[in-house]
Amino acid sequence: MDRSLFVLLLSGLFWSSSALSRQYHYINVRMSWPEAQSYCRAKYTDLATVDTMGDVNRLVNIVDAGYSGSVWIGLKRGTQKRWAWSNGENKSSPYSNWASGEPNENLDCVAYRSGFWCDHGCSYGRYFTCYTENNGYILVQSAKSWSDAQSYCRQYYTDLPTIHNSEENKQITKILLPGNYIWIGLFQDSWEWSDKWSRFFRNWAAGQPSQSSGSGDCVGMSRTNAGKWAQYSCDLKYPFICHGWRKYQYQFINESMTWQDAQSYCRARFTDLATADNMSDASLLLNTVDAGYSGSVWIGLHNGTEYRWVWSLGPLSQYSNWNQGEPNGDGECVRSFNGKWYDESCSTVLPFVCFNDSNGFIITETAMTGRDAQSYCRQHHTDLASISSAEQQNLISDQASLWIGLFLDSWEWPERWNLSFRNWAAGQPSQSSGSGDCVGMSTTDSGKWVQYSCDLKHPFICHGDDTLIKKQIVRLEFSCNGECTLNDPTLQTAILNQISEKLKSLGLESDSKINWRKGEGEGEGEDVFHRKITRTASSSDKCNEK
């Protein structure tokens, strides 16, 4: 696997903001907003940033169809308010047409009256203008709040209008009713993207964001409400969406080594032995292995020295609800009985509680061991139930004993990654001494994990980018009308900076460097761009003679 050093060999470039699309990744693991942000920054670029309605639709489409809750995106409340346009532009244009003394009330939306702008309370019902590429400005004589007007324009036209100059301001004046307040696309905003992306596209649900204190500082998207956004407490736990290319890939190394030697190899050439955080990662691990190989392969999990109570679903939680005197050493799995937790041998057969993203907690009356209950929940739902609050505990309080997802664990990843997802095979890990301190993945048992002696030799899976860097040359063509000055060094630097910033914003560039390649062909000197001559054959060309 090669990291790429991009050296751009360009005979020209026609740049478009939509030329490259962000990569989005739905992570079906529940975390708080800060935990989700840390996860995305560790594995991708950041929590999802959204620029357009097209991006919104892409986010909606990657969320599991059965999930009806909210998912975290990268928007959060900041401290600085800024004026911005509904279509996503920062109000960087020097043009403005505020009425005398405006803005004067620290209100967050802008209405247009008699050719001038006034700050206005966003909840007022006003007529409004929409904009469309084909028909210009359209007056809609239906009183709506600013956010409802925005939604209407996006549904039937393009958006509320953005005004860049006096000519555009005059065009709107021509269609307005004299003396009326009319919504335009300007609004004041204190929300900001986690990755510091400066565009201001917003897609709030009706009544959002709330102005009341304590209404939440982080933003989730609802798949069932057409991708609309709402604010929530950042401590709530939701699935989430990251953006950017995955910072590491899995690489199968078909060479048998001990676990320690495999780890040394991975650390020397990649990042480390493979880490897995969820069932999606577990599937990727299995699919990485060569089709002809049918044994076990080393992954990065190994037995540590510190025991911790962790959840089957992966994320750690500070909430606990042990009965007095518990845990008392009866076992490594946990049952809930009459609203309290008790440690219990994992081999005990009990009913259990699954969690499903669509339906919440589901009690299964069929009695199984703790490990079999986990496998059943993962096959038919999401996982065994994780309980992070008293309110969730109240949903399953019952006289009967039920397995929940908590278990005692001493296994750890070499990177100290603190998620505790496990994918053990039946009967694993064994409690008997000498059963092995290192973990291999079985290619013949759906990628389940088994403990082995670390001295055994298996192929293995690394993660991370290969440290061997591949130089990649990209050739593009450019067409222009009139005089082209593409070999002007100032212009070339500006184009290169624009490309670099765009790549960074899309998570497509980190440590890679891009630069021009000069003088590709013989006699071409030091120029980057070279004119392409197209010849049209005619009947007098000898090449056309029969």
228-282 tens-digit pLDDT:
999 899 989 899 999 887 766 788 999 999 999 999 999 888 888 998 877 778 8
Out of 445, 463, 481, a domain closes at 463
Which amino acid, residue 135? N
Helix (H, G, I), strand (E, B) or coil at 243: strand
Same domain, 124 and 181: yes
Angle (CA) 50-47-301 rounded to 5° is 150
Same domain, 314 and 422: yes
Q: Please indicate, yes or no, if residue 126 is contained in any of the structural domains.
A: yes
488: tokens are 């002007």
Residue 440 belongs to domain with CATH number: 3.10.100.10
Same domain, 339 and 423: yes
- Say if CB 67 and CB 223 are below 8 A apart: yes
pLDDT-above-70 percentage for the chain: 79
Rounded to whole angstroms, the Cα distance separating 516 from 36 reads 37
Rounded to whole angstroms, the Cα distance separating 390 from 235 reads 14
191: tokens are 């929300």
Q: Chain-centre distance of CA 157, in angstroms?
A: 29
Rounded to whole angstroms, the Cα distance separating 72 from 32 reads 8
Residue-wise pLDDT for 133-176, tens only, equals 777 888 888 888 888 888 888 888 888 888 888 888 888 877 77
Number of domains in the chain: 2
Same domain, 315 and 450: yes
- Say if CB 160 and CB 131 are below 8 A apart: yes
- My answer on whether omega of the bond before 351 falls inside 30° of 0, hence cis, is no
Average pLDDT over residues 81-96: 72
Residue-wise pLDDT for 123-133, tens only, equals 888 888 888 87
47: tokens are 């929590």
Q: Is 384 left (phi over 0), alpha (psi -120 to 50) or beta?
A: beta
Angle (CA) 399-404-410 rounded to 5° is 135
Average pLDDT over residues 288-294: 87
The pLDDT of residue 431 is 67
Same domain, 228 and 320: no
The pLDDT of residue 17 is 38
Q: Please indicate, yes or no, if residue 539 is contained in any of the structural domains.
A: no
Select, from the ranges 367-381, 403-417, 477-491, the one with the highest average predicted confidence (pLDDT). 367-381
Of 319, 350, 313, the C-alpha closest to 335 is 350
Q: Chain-centre distance of CA 209, in angstroms?
A: 22
Q: Please indicate, yes or no, if residue 486 is contained in any of the structural domains.
A: no
pLDDT of residue 521 exceeding 50: no
Of 291, 399, 378, 411, the C-alpha closest to 336 is 399
Alpha helices in 422-535 (DSSP H): 489-505
Same domain, 205 and 267: no
Rounded to whole angstroms, the Cα distance separating 151 from 527 reads 49
| DSSP-derived pairing of the beta strands 333-337 and 402-412 | antiparallel
pLDDT-above-90 percentage for the chain: 16
Q: Please indicate, yes or no, if residue 507 is contained in any of the structural domains.
A: no
Rounded to whole angstroms, the Cα distance separating 376 from 365 reads 12
Strands (E), 40-69: 46-47
pLDDT of residue 70 exceeding 50: yes
Q: If pLDDT is split at 50, 70 and 90, which confidence band does 417 have?
A: low
Same domain, 312 and 176: no
Of 418, 384, 377, 409, the C-alpha closest to 275 is 418
The pLDDT of residue 73 is 93
The pLDDT of residue 410 is 81
Task: Count CB-CB contacts under 10 A for residue 222.
Answer: 17
Same domain, 213 and 186: yes
Average pLDDT over residues 316-328: 83
- Say if CB 446 and CB 424 are below 8 A apart: no
Out of 410, 445, 463, a domain closes at 463
Out of 430, 463, 496, a domain closes at 463
Instruction: Show Cβ contacts of residue 391 under 8 Å, excluding neighbours closer than 6 positions.
Output: none
The pLDDT of residue 90 is 64
The pLDDT of residue 153 is 87
Same domain, 192 and 311: no
Mean pLDDT of the chain: 79
- My answer on whether omega of the bond before 103 falls inside 30° of 0, hence cis, is yes
Residue-wise pLDDT for 457-515, tens only, equals 999 999 876 655 445 566 666 666 666 677 777 777 777 777 777 666 655 544 456 77
- Say if CB 132 and CB 157 are below 8 A apart: yes
pLDDT of residue 366 exceeding 60: yes
Scan for tokens 């992306």, then name that residue: 197
pLDDT of residue 11 exceeding 50: no
Same domain, 263 and 230: no
Strands (E), 224-331: 229-232, 238-243, 250-257, 272-273, 296-311
Q: If pLDDT is split at 50, 70 and 90, which confidence band does 539 have?
A: very low
Q: What is the DSSP letter of 254?
A: E
Same domain, 255 and 134: no
Q: If pLDDT is split at 50, 70 and 90, which confidence band does 5 have?
A: very low
pLDDT of residue 439 exceeding 90: yes
Q: Please indicate, yes or no, if residue 57 is contained in any of the structural domains.
A: no
Rounded to whole angstroms, the Cα distance separating 526 from 118 reads 55
pLDDT of residue 541 exceeding 70: no
Q: Please indicate, yes or no, if residue 34 is contained in any of the structural domains.
A: no
H or E, element range at 151: helix 146-156
Same domain, 283 and 139: no
pLDDT of residue 208 exceeding 50: yes
Q: Please indicate, yes or no, if residue 283 is contained in any of the structural domains.
A: yes
Domain of 444 in residue numbering reads as 250-463
Instruction: Show Cβ contacts of residue 144 under 8 Å, excluding neighbours closer than 6 positions.
Output: 125, 126, 128, 152, 183
- Say if CB 507 and CB 22 are below 8 A apart: yes
Phi and psi at residue 178, to the nearest 5°? -60, 135
Between 315-324, 432-441, 522-531, the lowest mean confidence (pLDDT) is in 522-531
Q: Which tops the pLDDT comparison, 212 or 208?
A: 208
pLDDT of residue 222 exceeding 50: yes
Q: Please indicate, yes or no, if residue 58 is contained in any of the structural domains.
A: no
Tell me the β-bridge partners of 302.
Answer: 412, 438
Q: If pLDDT is split at 50, 70 and 90, which confidence band does 335 have?
A: very high
Select, from the ranges 66-70, 110-114, 193-197, 445-449, the one with the highest average predicted confidence (pLDDT). 445-449
Helix (H, G, I), strand (E, B) or coil at 424: strand
Rounded to whole angstroms, the Cα distance separating 17 from 39 reads 27
Strands (E), 133-249: 136-144, 182-193, 218-222, 229-232, 238-243
Angle (CA) 367-372-376 rounded to 5° is 90
The pLDDT of residue 296 is 94
The pLDDT of residue 341 is 92
